Amino acid sequence: PAALSGAIAERLTRVMGGSSGVLLAIFASAASAAFAQGASLSDALREGLARMQHHGGARAGDRTMIDALAPAFEALGSDLNWPAAARAARAGADATRSMRSARAGRSSYVGGDDLAGVADPGAEAVARVFEALSGKP
């Protein structure tokens, strides 16, 4: 897991542009370091999230991918309940539809009227990844 996470971080650094690419690379790199220290999957993911939040500054409620990641990792738990994580990620992404302002991310450049009813793209992507991991089409 440490080597895979490290390789993912390296790949994200090279091919994914924008702040999302940098933040996801930071996430994967921190998870890799946690795995190398013997962390479980759930602990490594939470460490990656904490490092991403430290560098990116976003928190739940800011209308970013964090709104789906944080509840998904919490629901995943140490028993690796992927369906629960997928439901939590979906709920987090859907909640961004009612957020009329974004305090971080690309959506922070968009007016509230244009955000109304639209899920944050990063949160939506995270929800879809967790749905795929849980086996939900």
- List pLDDT tens digits, range 92-126: 999 999 887 667 776 766 666 777 788 999 999 99
In this predicted model, what pLDDT tens digit does every residue of 57-81 receive, in sequence order?
899 998 999 999 999 999 999 899 9
Of the two residues 106 and 85, the one the predictor is more confident about is: 85
Q: What are phi and psi of 16, to 5 degrees?
A: -100, 120
pTM, 2 dp: 0.88
Q: Rounded to an integer, what distance in angstroms lies between the CA atom of residue 16 and that of residue 47? A: 21
Q: Is the pLDDT of residue 31 over 70?
A: yes
Within 10 angstroms of residue 26's Cβ, the number of other Cβ atoms is 20
First to last CA, the chain: 26
Q: Is the separation of the CB atoms in 69 and 31 below 8 Å?
A: no
Count Cα atoms within 13 angstroms, Cβ side, for 123: 32
Count Cα atoms within 13 angstroms, Cβ side, for 31: 26
Q: Residue 133: which residues within 8 A CB-CB, separation 6 or more? A: 82, 85, 86
**Cα maximum dimension of the chain:** 46
Q: Residue 135: which residues within 8 A CB-CB, separation 6 or more? A: 82, 83
Q: Write down the pLDDT at residue 37.
A: 97
